[in-house]
Chains A and B, each alone.
Chain A
Amino acid sequence: MENTVLKVEDFSAYFGDNKILKEINLTVTKNIVAALMGPSGCGKTTLIRCVNRMHELIPGTRISGRMRLNDQDIYSMEPIVLRRKVGMVFQKPNPFPTMSIYENVIAGYKLNGIRRPREEFDNIVEQSLKKAALWNEVKDNLHRKGTFLSGGQQQRLCIARALAMNPEILLLDEPTSALDPKSTSQIEELFVELKQNVTMLLVTHNIAQAARVSDVTAFIYLGELVEFGPTEKMFTVPKDKRTEEYLTGKFG
């Protein structure tokens, strides 16, 4: 289907003998925010890291099942090629400390040795920072190192860095957990605008954030996909009893 960006089929992940994810099936369509929520240790971070095969960096992991990104099998691709198509933003903002803001945004190109004319890089930097709602705050300081930026600004820089590569999907692993409430709400508003440009898969342990920001939500518990559907419906009339208990705070 042309509208599907990510298709996960019967996907399981193992750490040694531990089955972390159990036959997950889900589909993410274009230009939406899909949230993965669930209690700590349920496997949602593992799932998102399987999409760009970052979990493979830990020894002793293996997977079964399939994942397709825009109809290409993720596990048949070269991990490096895959990761250039998938953007990732982490919990702790991690701009490269030895690079300026400008260099950080195009780090994906520079570090991979991809050359472009200077004007094109200038354009990419401006567009990415604008999409990340950071342009106005840094446009006069592009060649300074990013260390003077606040936590929220650093995270938006990381978002710009990921966007600069024009990813097919943007993965966000609890991107606002380390930020103060004001920065958190700025970034949440950013997501609502950003989804016109890119599809987003968001892991959050904050139920209210999933409710505010996402179009569809997946509830994962003990490695199983318990429920997956439009956010509005899930938060007003959840289908599964476990979802209801999680939402009302009975566990997690």
Chain B
Amino acid sequence: MLEEKIIELKKELVEFATLVEAMIMKSIKGLLKKEKTLLHEVIEDEEPNANTFEIKIEELCISVIAQYQPRAKELRTVLMIFKMVSDIERMGDHAVNIADSGLFLITKQPVKPLIDIPRMADETVKSVDDAIKSFINEDAALAKNVCERDDIIDGLQTQIFRELTTFMTSGPTTIERALYLIRMANNLERIADLATNICEDVIFMVEGRVIKHHIEDNNDQ
């Protein structure tokens, strides 16, 4: 009985995460292809869906704990799913922010050719995808790998920030657009961060180890 419930929970979570991953990709695609409809879909259709999912999965987690008293790995699984749900929902919020920024930017002249933002978006989506994969396959090694790649994404964000600040000094008319681009990069960075949170939760679920806040590295020292 408990086993079936956990399988159901995992299925729901993967469905939710896949929906949000699609939201992220759609919002970037809408910006790059300058397609307003895609961006509107993200904001108006898919976001409410995501919210419903969040509530549904949370309630399911609570009732599983109340009714079935899971222990050991099953307990870690249910608790981590509960946690991941809120992180995934926040990813969705950031995707909406990106779509929002996109709606503004596609009506304006690009400040510069978009190279780094798409690259950053690619890396971010890859992290999200790998995070979901590591959950499905209970692959702690993949999860660890995603956490390590977070530095790359942070690096890209810093790079974009520096570049755009230089641009802004070249003329006040670029400021508004540059700020929107910076906002977009920040949102992408946050999404990648949330993906690493999910990976840390996966590692706890699979191995019972806590690796967040670099606690292990601190302990080794």
Chain B interface mostly: helix
B1 touches A188 (CB 8 A): yes
Residue on A nearest B67 in the bound complex, by CB: A211
* B-side contacts of A236, CB under 8 Å: 62-63, 66
Is A231 close to B, CB under 8 A? yes
* B-side contacts of A56, CB under 8 Å: none
A232 touches B1 (CB 8 A): no
Residue on A nearest B66 in the bound complex, by CB: A235
Instruction: State A189–B63 Cα separation when bound (angstroms).
Output: 18
Instruction: State A188–B63 Cα separation when bound (angstroms).
Output: 18
Instruction: State A231–B66 Cα separation when bound (angstroms).
Output: 10
Instruction: State A235–B2 Cα separation when bound (angstroms).
Output: 16
Q: How far is the CB of A37 from chain B (nearest CB, A)?
A: 13
Is B104 close to A, CB under 8 A? no
Q: How far is the CB of B180 from chain A (nearest CB, A)?
A: 44
Q: How far is the CB of B89 from chain A (nearest CB, A)?
A: 21
A212 touches B1 (CB 8 A): yes
Given contacts A232-B63, A235-B63, A236-B63, contact A211 B68 (CB under 8 A): yes
Query: Residue among A188, A231, A232 with the most chain B CB within 10 A?
Result: A232
Residue on B nearest A188 in the bound complex, by CB: B1
Q: List which B60-95 residues lie within 8 A (CB) of chain A.
A: 62-63, 66-69
Is A192 close to B, CB under 8 A? yes
* A-side contacts of B62, CB under 8 Å: 236
Q: How far is the CB of A33 from chain B (nearest CB, A)?
A: 11
Residue on B nearest A210 in the bound complex, by CB: B67
Is A77 close to B, CB under 8 A? no
* B-side contacts of A189, CB under 8 Å: 1
Is A57 close to B, CB under 8 A? no
Is A111 close to B, CB under 8 A? no
Instruction: State A221–B62 Cα separation when bound (angstroms).
Output: 26
Q: List which A186-206 residues lie within 8 A (CB) of chain B.
A: 188-189, 192
Residue on A nearest B65 in the bound complex, by CB: A236
Instruction: State A250–B89 Cα separation when bound (angstroms).
Output: 37
Instruction: State A188–B68 Cα separation when bound (angstroms).
Output: 12
Q: How far is the CB of B2 from chain A (nearest CB, A)?
A: 8
B69 touches A232 (CB 8 A): no
Instruction: State A236–B67 Cα separation when bound (angstroms).
Output: 8
B1 touches A231 (CB 8 A): no
* A-side contacts of B1, CB under 8 Å: 188-189, 192, 212-213
Instruction: State A169–B162 Cα separation when bound (angstroms).
Output: 74
| Cβ contacts A168-198/B at 8 Å (1 or 0 each) | 0000000000000000000011001000000
Residue from the list A188, A208, A213 in contact with B69, Cβ < 8 A: A208
Q: List which B32-80 residues lie within 8 A (CB) of chain A.
A: 62-63, 66-69
Q: List which A91-136 residues lie within 8 A (CB) of chain B.
A: none
Residue on B nearest A232 in the bound complex, by CB: B63
Residue from the list A188, A192, A213, A232 in contact with B66, Cβ < 8 A: A232
Residue on A nearest B63 in the bound complex, by CB: A232
* B-side contacts of A235, CB under 8 Å: 63, 66-67
Instruction: State A212–B67 Cα separation when bound (angstroms).
Output: 5
Q: How far is the CB of B145 from chain A (nearest CB, A)?
A: 38
Query: Residue among B62, B63, B69 with the most chain A CB within 10 A?
Result: B63
Q: How far is the CB of B74 from chain A (nearest CB, A)?
A: 13
Instruction: State A157–B207 Cα separation when bound (angstroms).
Output: 42
* A-side contacts of B67, CB under 8 Å: 211-212, 231-232, 235
Q: How far is the CB of A125 from chain B (nearest CB, A)?
A: 28
Closest 8 CB pairs of A and B: A235-B66, A211-B67, A232-B63, A236-B66, A236-B62, A235-B67, A236-B63, A212-B68
Additional pairs, 10, CB under 8 Å, beyond known A192-B1, A235-B67: A211-B66, A211-B68, A211-B69, A212-B2, A213-B1, A231-B67, A232-B63, A235-B63, A235-B66, A236-B63
| Interface residues in chain B, defined as those with a beta carbon under 8 Å from any beta carbon in chain A | 1-2, 62-63, 66-69
| Interface residues in chain A, defined as those with a beta carbon under 8 Å from any beta carbon in chain B | 188-189, 192, 208, 211-213, 231-232, 235-236
Can you report 14 residue pairs joining A to B where beta carbons are below 8 Å apart? A188-B1, A192-B1, A208-B69, A211-B67, A211-B68, A211-B69, A212-B1, A212-B68, A213-B1, A231-B67, A232-B67, A235-B63, A235-B67, A236-B66
